[in-house]
Structure 1
Amino acid sequence: MKSRTLRRVCVSAVTVAALSSVAACGGSGGTSGSGKNGDRSPAAAAVALSPVAALKKVQTKSGSVHSAKVESTMVMGTTMSMTMSGAMDWSDGMTGDVSITYTGGTMGEAMAKMGGDGTMRALYLKDAYYMNMGDAFASALGGKHWLRYAYADLAALTGASGDAAQNQIKNSTPQEGVKALLASGDVKKVGEENIRSVATTHYSGVVDVAALTARSGGLDAAQLQELKEQLDAAGVKTERVDVWVDEDDLLVKKTERGESAAGAIDSTVFYSDYGTPVSVRAPAPGDTADFKEIAGQAAKTAS
C-alpha cells in the first residue's frame, strides 16, 4: 500500500473512531443485569418526578454501576455506516473491548480497498486506544496488527475537536448520555415503551451541540471558539437525543440524530448486563505501531 493511501486510511480511522465509535457505544441485548425492584413499573417509579429529576436519578445510578455490554449502529452521512458490540467499563476512566464493522460509506470503501472485510477490534485504555484492522492492514505496517492512538497525540494533531474527542472517549458512558439530555434544557417525558422486552420510560430533548461540548469537554476559551468554528463549518447545529430508562433507573437505549454538511448523523445504542466484568490489556509492543509516527512518516513521503 502506498504511504499516501496508508496515511489517508489512518487519518480516516482515527477521526471516525475518536469522534463517533465510542460516543455511539451500544449494548448487547436490552435487559439490565442489575436486578429487579419488585413489581415497580417505570411509570410508577417516575410518577412523582419531573423529567429532570428522574434523569438525575438515572445519571447517578448509571454512574455507580461502572460497566455494561454495548451494541450500537451509526451512520454519518456518506462518511461511514458502522455497527459495534462489546463491553465498556468507566469505573476509573474509560476502558473497553469492542468489535467494529464498517458497513458502508467512504470508510467502508477504504477498508474494502485494503482487502479487509470492514471489521476491526478496538481496545480502550486510560491513555490511548488501539485498533486491529486485520492481516491486510498489518502487511502495510511491517506485520504489526495494532495501531495505537494516544489521546494526547490526537488532541495535538486535530486541534480543539481532538480535545473534545479525547474527553468524549474518556467520558462516553451511559450517565454522560443522560447528562447530554439534561444539558439540553428541553427534556420531556414521552411515555412508556417496551424495548427488547424491557419496560422503559422514554425521554427526549434537543441539544445544542457546540454548547454541550463546551460543558462536557473541559475546553478553554480559545479551544471552544475553534471548535465552534469547526462545527459551524461542518454544518452541525443541533441534535435530538432520546433515552429509554428501565425500572432500575438504568439506561437501556439511547438515540442521537442530527444533520451535518456531510449528511445525516444517526446513532442507536443499547446497554445491557450492567456490572459485567471488563478486563483490557494493551497489545504487545512488538505487534503495535504508533499512529503519530505512521502519520508523520506518511506526511514526509507525500510532501
Structure 2
Amino acid sequence: MKTSTVRRVGLSVAVAAALTSVAACGGSDDKSEGRAGSAVTKADPVAALLAVQKKTGGANSAKVEGTTTMGTAMSMKQAGALDWSDGVSGSMKITYTGGAMADTMKKAGGDGTMEARYFKDGYAANMGSAMAAQTGGKSWISYSYADLAELGGAAGAAMQDQMSNATPEQGLKSLLASGDVKKAGQEDVRGVPTTHYSGTVDVAELTAKNSELDAGQVAELKKQLGDAGITTEKIDIWVDKNDLLVKKTERGQMKTGELNSTVYYSDYGTKVSVERPPASETIGFKELLKQQQGASGSAS
C-alpha cells in the first residue's frame, strides 16, 4: 500500500467514523443535564419536543441502527450501542455501501466494513487484514481528539468538540430553533406506537425563540449546518409514549450532494461496555503518519 494511500485511508476513516457517530447521535454542545419529569400535554408541538429533548438527553444510552448518505462522499449503514452520559462511548459496526469512502476502502484491500469503538478521549477503527499487512499486524488505528485537533486545526478542534458532546438531541434542537414544527400524526414504528413530528429547518431563519438555546448556541448550530453546505433541511421524528426518540430522518442538500439519514433508537438505558483494542494490534494515527513519512523516501 503506497504512503499516500495509507494516509488517505487513515484520514478518510477518521472523518467517516466521526461522521457516523454524529449522524447516529447528532452533534450537540448542550452540556446541561436533561432530565424530564412527567410527560407534558402533547397538544403543543414545541412543549412536546422540549420534553422529548430533555427525556432523551437524560436517558444516557441506547441501541442505534440506521443508514446515511452524504452525497458523493459516502453511503453507509451502521448498528451498535452508544452511551452519551459523559462524552460518547460505545461501538458501531459500519458498512460503507457506496461513494468515495467505499471506493477508498476497496482500493486499500478492505471489504467496506469496519468496527468503530468510541471513548471519551477518542476512538479506534478496525481496518482489517489489509491494514495489518502494512503495519506489522496492527489492524486498529486509534485517533485521539486532541491529536485530531492538533493535526486538523480549527476543523479538528470542531470535530473534537462535536464528538465529545454528541447526543441524539441535535435534530430536536434544530427543529425547535426553526420555529416550524407540527404534529404529523400517530404511526407505528417497528411495532411501537409513536407520535410523528415534522418540520423544515431554514438555516438563515434559525432562532433561539423556542429552542432554549442562547444566541451563541444558535450561531454555532447555524455554523455547523452552514459548513456542511446545508441551507434547508427537512427533519421528521417519531416519539414514543415515554417522550423518547424512536426514529429520526433528515433530508437536505450538502456541498457533496444530498444528505439522507434515517436512524432508529431502542433499548434506552442499555448498558454499554467497550474495551480498548489490544495495544499490540493498535497504531496511533500520528504514529502511522510518522511511519509513512519516514518511509516516503522508498515509497512512490
Scaled by the length of structure 2, the TM-score of the pair is 0.82
Does the 8 A contact of 2:56 with 2:244 survive in 1?
yes
User: What is residue 171 of structure 2 aligned with on the other side?
Assistant: 177
Displacement, 1:144?
0.6
Q: Measure, in 2, the Cα distance between the counterparts of 1:64 and 1:231.
A: 28
Displacement, 1:258?
1.3
Query: For the structure 1 residues 21 and 158, does the alpha-carbon distance in structure 2 shift closer, same or farther, using more than 3 Å as the test?
Result: same
Displacement, 1:209?
5.5
SS of structure 2 residue aligned to 1:140: coil
User: What is residue 6 of structure 1 aligned with on the other side?
Assistant: 6
Residues 197-212 of structure 1 mapped to structure 2, 5 A cutoff:
197-208=191-202
User: What is residue 259 of structure 2 aligned with on the other side?
Assistant: 265
Q: Measure, in 1, the Cα distance between the counterparts of 2:291 and 2:125.
A: 19
Greater relative contact order (Cα 8 A, min sep 6): structure 1 or 2?
1
Query: For the structure 1 residues 68 and 189, does the alpha-carbon distance in structure 2 shift closer, same or farther, using more than 3 Å as the test?
Result: same
What amino acid is aligned across from residue 12 of structure 1 in structure 2? S
Unaligned runs of 5+ in 2: 26-38, 207-212
Q: Measure, in 1, the Cα distance between the counterparts of 2:205 and 2:78.
A: 27
Does the 8 A contact of 2:5 with 2:108 survive in 1?
no
Does the 8 A contact of 1:129 with 1:149 survive in 2?
yes
**1:86 matched to 2:80:** yes
Q: Which is worse superposed, 119-128 or 185-194?
A: 185-194
Q: Measure, in 1, the Cα distance between the counterparts of 2:158 and 2:180.
A: 23
User: What is residue 147 of structure 1 aligned with on the other side?
Assistant: 141
Q: Measure, in 2, the Cα distance between the counterparts of 1:13 and 1:113.
A: 14
Query: For the structure 1 residues 130 and 229, does the alpha-carbon distance in structure 2 shift closer, same or farther, using more than 3 Å as the test?
Result: closer
232, 235, 250: which one pairs with 1:241? 235
Query: For the structure 1 residues 285 and 208, does the alpha-carbon distance in structure 2 shift closer, same or farther, using more than 3 Å as the test?
Result: farther
Which string of whole-angstrom CA distances, capped at 9 and with x for unpartnered residues, describes residues 198-236 of structure 1? 111111223355998xx79x89x9xx7xx959946x633
Does the 8 A contact of 1:101 with 1:118 survive in 2?
yes
Scaled by the length of structure 1, the TM-score of the pair is 0.81
Q: Measure, in 1, the Cα distance between the counterparts of 2:168 and 2:225.
A: 26
Displacement, 1:98?
1.0
User: What is residue 15 of structure 1 aligned with on the other side?
Assistant: 15
Does the 8 A contact of 1:204 with 1:241 survive in 2?
yes
What amino acid is aligned across from residue 47 of structure 2 in structure 1? A
Q: Measure, in 1, the Cα distance between the counterparts of 2:181 and 2:60.
A: 25
Q: Any runs of at least 4 consecutive aligned residues in structure 1 with deviations exceeding 4 A, and if so which?
A: 45-48, 208-212, 227-232
What percent identity do the matched residue pairs reach?
56
SS of structure 1 residue aligned to 2:169: helix
User: What is residue 51 of structure 2 aligned with on the other side?
Assistant: 57
CA RMSD, 1 decimal: 2.9
Which string of whole-angstrom CA distances, capped at 9 and with x for unpartnered residues, describes residues 171-218 of structure 1? 322234322322223222222211112111111223355998xx79x8
Unaligned runs of 5+ in 1: 27-44
Q: Measure, in 1, the Cα distance between the counterparts of 2:168 and 2:238.
A: 11
Q: Measure, in 2, the Cα distance between the counterparts of 1:54 and 1:100.
A: 33
Q: Measure, in 2, the Cα distance between the counterparts of 1:292 and 1:209.
A: 36
Q: Which is worse superposed, 241-250 or 202-211?
A: 202-211
Residues 16-35 of structure 1 mapped to structure 2, 5 A cutoff:
16-18=16-18, 20-25=19-24
Query: For the structure 1 residues 248 and 177, does the alpha-carbon distance in structure 2 shift closer, same or farther, using more than 3 Å as the test?
Result: same
Q: Measure, in 2, the Cα distance between the counterparts of 1:207 and 1:155.
A: 29
SS of structure 1 residue aligned to 2:287: helix
User: What is residue 37 of structure 1 aligned with on the other side?
Assistant: none
Displacement, 1:155?
2.3
Does the 8 A contact of 1:24 with 1:72 survive in 2?
no
Displacement, 1:123?
0.5
SS of structure 1 residue aligned to 2:248: strand
Displacement, 1:13?
1.4
Does the 8 A contact of 1:7 with 1:299 survive in 2?
no
The alignment of Structure 1 onto Structure 2 pairs a total of residues equal to 276
Q: Which is worse superposed, 256-265 or 67-76?
A: 256-265
